[in-house]
Amino acid sequence: MKILITGGAGFVGARLARTLLQRGTLDGRGISRIVLADQAQPPADLLNDARVEVRVGPLLAHCEGLRDEAVDGVFHLASAVSGECEADFDLGLRSNLDSTRALLDALRHRVNGGAAAAKLVFSSSVAVYGPDAAVAMPATVTDTTLPTPQTSYGIQKHICEHLVADYTRKGYIDGRSARLMTVTVRPGRPNGAASSFFSGIIREPLAGVESVCPVGLEVAHPVSSPQRTVEGLIAVYEASREAYGGRTALNLPALNVTVAQMLAALEEVAGPAVRALVRFERDERIAGIVANWPTAARADRAARLGLLPEANFADIIRQYIADSANTPGALAGLAGLAGQA
Amino acid sequence: MKILITGGAGFVGARLARTLLQRGTLDGRGISRIVLADQAQPPADLLNDARVEVRVGPLLAHCEGLRDEAVDGVFHLASAVSGECEADFDLGLRSNLDSTRALLDALRHRVNGGAAAAKLVFSSSVAVYGPDAAVAMPATVTDTTLPTPQTSYGIQKHICEHLVADYTRKGYIDGRSARLMTVTVRPGRPNGAASSFFSGIIREPLAGVESVCPVGLEVAHPVSSPQRTVEGLIAVYEASREAYGGRTALNLPALNVTVAQMLAALEEVAGPAVRALVRFERDERIAGIVANWPTAARADRAARLGLLPEANFADIIRQYIADSANTPGALAGLAGLAGQA
**Full DSSP string of B199-221:** HHHHHHHHTT--EEE-S-TT-EE
The predicted structure's pLDDT at residue A337: 54
Give the chain A residue whose CA is nearest to the CA of B160.
A159
Same domain, B123 and B260: no
Peptide bond into B230 cis (omega under 30): no
Q: Do B148 and A250 touch (CB under 8 A)?
A: no
Do residue A65 and residue A167 come from a single domain? yes
Instruction: Please report the pLDDT score of residue B74 as a whole number.
Output: 98
CATH number at residue B71: 3.40.50.720
Cβ burial of B270 (10 Å; 0-12, 13-18, 19+) is: buried
Which of A201, A326, A186 lies closest to A264 in space, CA to CA? Answer: A201
Contacts of B301 in chain A (CB under 8 A): 134
Residues of A in contact with B96 (CB under 8 A): none
Q: What would the mean pLDDT of A65-90 be, rounded to a whole number?
A: 94
Q: Is the dihedral of CA A209, A212, A218, A220 positive or negative?
A: negative
Inter-chain CB proximity A134 and B163 less than 8 Å:
no
Binary contact (A133, B247; C-beta < 8 A): yes
Check which CATH number belongs to the domain holding B285 and give it. Answer: 3.90.25.10
pLDDT band at B293 (very low <50, low <70, confident <90, very high): confident
User: Is A340 domain-assigned?
Assistant: no
pLDDT of residue B341: 39
Measured between CB atoms, which of B134, B145, B155 is closest to A245? Answer: B134
| Residue A157 belongs to a domain | yes
Residue A339 pLDDT > 60 = no
- In angstroms, what separates the C-alpha of B292 from chain A's closest C-alpha? 14
B240 lies in some domain: yes
* Contact with chain B for residue A163, Cβ under 8 A: yes
Residues of A in contact with B94 (CB under 8 A): none
Mean pLDDT, residues A114-123: 97
In contact, B112 and B144? CB cutoff 8 Å:
no
- Dump pLDDT digits (tens) for B15-44: 999 999 999 999 999 999 999 999 999 999
Planar angle of CA A85, A109, A153, nearest 5 degrees: 10
Instruction: Calculate mean pLDDT across residues B88-105.
Output: 97
Question: For the residues B145-162, what does the mean pLDDT come to?
Answer: 96
Claim to verify: residue A97 and residue A209 sit in the same structural domain: no
Asked whether residue B132 falls in the same domain as residue B246, the answer is: yes
Q: Are A45 and A259 in contact (CB under 8 A)?
A: no
Say yes or no for a CB contact (<8 Å) between B155 and A149.
no
Judged against a pLDDT cut of 80, whether residue B131 lies above it is answered with yes
> Is B153 one of the annotated active-site residues of the chain?
yes
Q: Which structural domain range is residue A233 located in?
A: 2-181+225-251
pLDDT of residue A9: 97
Vertex A17 angle, CA A12 and A22, to 5°:
125
pLDDT value at residue A341: 39
Lowest mean pLDDT among A33-47, B265-279, B325-339: B325-339
More confident residue, B72 or B290: B72
What is the predicted pLDDT for the residue at A191? 79
- A133 neighbourhood in chain B, CB within 8 Å: 245-247
Spatial separation of the C-alpha atoms in residues B80 and B57, rounded to whole Å: 14
pLDDT at B339: 45
Domain presence at residue B188: no
Q: Which of B133, B146, B301 sits opposite A134 (nearest CB)?
A: B301
Task: Tell me the whole-structure pTM to 2 decimals.
Answer: 0.95
Q: Does residue A91 sit at the B interface (CB-CB below 8 Å)?
A: no
Instruction: Examine the domain organization and report whether B19 and B161 are in the same domain.
Output: yes
Q: Does residue B335 register a pLDDT over 80? A: no
- B235 and B264 together in one domain: no
Q: What is the pLDDT of residues A202-213, one digit of tens each?
A: 999 999 999 999
Single-letter code of the amino acid located at B77: L
A154 and A217 in a common domain: no
Q: Which residue among B134, B246, B248 sits closest to A246, beta carbon to beta carbon?
A: B134
* Interchain proximity B144–A145, CB inside 8 Å: no
Q: 3-state DSSP helix/strand/coil percent for chain A, to nearest 5? A: 45, 20, 35
The chain-wide mean pLDDT, for chain B, equals 94
Under DSSP, the state recorded for B128 is G
Residue A302 lies in a domain: no
Judge whether B87 lies within some domain: yes
Q: What is the rounded CA–CA span in Å between residue B102 and residue B108? A: 10
Q: What DSSP designation does A41 have?
A: P
Span A212-261, pLDDT tens digits: 999 999 999 999 999 999 999 999 999 999 999 988 999 999 999 999 99
Q: Is residue B217 part of a domain?
A: yes
Is there a contact between A170 and B146 if contact means CB atoms under 8 Å apart?
no
Q: Is B112 on the interface with A (CB under 8 A)?
A: no
Whole-number Å distance between alpha carbons of A134 and A3? 42
- Per-residue confidence band for B337, with pLDDT thresholds at 50, 70 and 90: low
On whether both A198 and A292 belong to a single domain, the answer is yes
- ipTM for the complex shown: 0.95
Question: Mean per-residue pLDDT for B197-225?
Answer: 97
Q: What is the CA radius of gyration of chain A?
A: 20
In this predicted model, what pLDDT tens digit does every residue of A50-65 receive, in sequence order? Answer: 999 999 999 999 999 9
Please determine, for residue A269, whether its predicted confidence score (pLDDT) is greater than 60. yes
Residue B186 belongs to a domain: no
B147, B21: one domain: yes
A152 Cβ under 8 Å from any chain B Cβ: yes
Nearest chain B residue to A155 by CA: give it: B162
Look at chain A and report how many structural domains it folds into: 2
The per-residue pLDDT for B340 is 44
Interface size, chain A vs chain B, as Cβ–Cβ contacts under 8 Å: 82
| Contact state of B133 with A158 under an 8 Å Cβ cutoff | no
Report B:194-233 residues touching A (Cβ under 8 A): none
* Band (A193; pLDDT cuts 50, 70, 90): confident
Tens-place pLDDT, residues B230-289: 999 999 999 999 999 988 999 999 999 999 999 999 999 999 999 999 999 999 989 988
Do A74 and A116 lie in a common domain? yes
Q: Are residues B31 and B71 in the same domain?
A: yes
Which positions 63-82 of B are in contact with A (Cβ < 8 Å)? none
Q: Across chain A, what does the average pLDDT equal?
A: 94
Residue that wins the pLDDT comparison between A135 and A180:
A180
Minimum mean pLDDT range among A313-322, B173-182, B252-261, B289-298: B289-298
Residues of A in contact with B134 (CB under 8 A): 143-144, 245-248, 250, 301
User: Do A171 and A39 share a domain, yes or no?
Assistant: yes
Residue pair B4/B119 in contact (Cβ under 8 Å)? The answer is: no
Lowest mean pLDDT among A143-147, B168-172, B331-335: B331-335
Rounded to the nearest 10°, the torsion over CA B230, B232, B234, B240 is -170
